[in-house]
Amino acid sequence: MDDAKKIIVALDYDNLDSVTNFVDSIDSELCRVKIGKELFTKYGPSIVKNIHEKGFEIFLDLKFHDIPTTVYKACISAFSLNIWMLNVHLTGGFDMSVSAMKAKQDCQSTSKLIGVTALTSLSDDDCIKIYGCKRIDQLKRLRDIGLEADIDGFVCSPYDINTLAVEDKIFVTPGIRTNNNTQDHHKVITPVDALQLGSTYLVIGRSITESPDPIKALKEIYQSL
């Protein structure tokens, strides 16, 4: 898991021109990129192909959550795009998570399959209302599902890594900011602090995408690490 490219830039755009202009302004040697529901719903596999052609490895952030057969078929389709990383939502349960891993094996894919735990937007009160338990308890339930299914790692807040308390797994952490703007996340954290808490990869969006000089912003983050 010793990977020098720690940063995954979230391409949170709603149009192809903005994506293209941004991707052309950065260096695939410095980062990977994340394609989420908004872009993939609008442009489909073509957006993956376009960004691959520019040399970037892609985290396809679709958080699959459905019955096991549907998730298996969706993962087969996703892995066929030669993505670097894919995720499922662990609240779909053990059988669903196993089906996702089976899809990876059946495709003989080297892609990383990771599981979403409690969304970083959810507070303790939110988890009680939704799941009937505190956030820490929900994290432990979903961790156990992920471990039993033998997924490659977890999507979580850096603050949750200690609660998950597992070794030899990837931790992909959103909510990373170079300032204190929380936006849609319940808590945010700096890149340095996130790595100290055990993050493997840092998902960073606006701090880079809204910078007047994205390359400079990327290099400054790496220098801080």
Compute the radius of gyration of the chain from its Cα atoms.
17
Question: pLDDT tens for residues 83-127?
Answer: 999 999 999 999 999 999 999 999 999 999 999 998 888 999 999
- pLDDT at residue 120 in the model: 86
63 included as an active-site residue: yes
- Return the number of other C-beta atoms located less than 10 Å from residue 101's C-beta: 18
Per-residue pLDDT at 181: 53
Task: Tell me the whole-structure pTM to 2 decimals.
Answer: 0.92
Q: What is the pLDDT of residue 217?
A: 94
Domains along the chain?
Answer: 7-224 (3.20.20.70)
Burial classification of residue 34, based on how many CB atoms lie within 10 Å of its CB (0-12 exposed, 13-18 middle, 19 or more buried)? buried
pLDDT of residue 185: 47
Question: Token digits for 166?
Answer: 């597992």
3-state secondary structure of 173: strand
The pLDDT assigned to 1 comes to: 52
pLDDT at 2: 61
- Name the residue among 67, 70, 7, 60 with its Cα closest to residue 38: 60
Residue 197: exposure state from Cβ atoms within 10 A (0-12, 13-18, ≥19): middle
Is 152:113 a contact under the CB 8 Å cutoff?
A: yes
In the beta sheet, which residues pair with residue 189?
176
Q: Which residue among 63, 104, 112, 169 is the active-site one?
A: 63
Helices (H), the chain: 16-23, 37-43, 45-52, 68-79, 94-106, 124-131, 135-149, 161-164, 191-196, 206-209, 214-224
Q: Which two tokens stand for residue 134?
A: 């505190």
pLDDT of residue 3: 83
Those residues of the chain that have pLDDT short of 50 are: 182, 185
Residue 90 · residue 141 · CB < 8 Å = no
- CB under 8 Å to 53, separation ≥6 — which residues? none
Token reading at 19: 């994506």
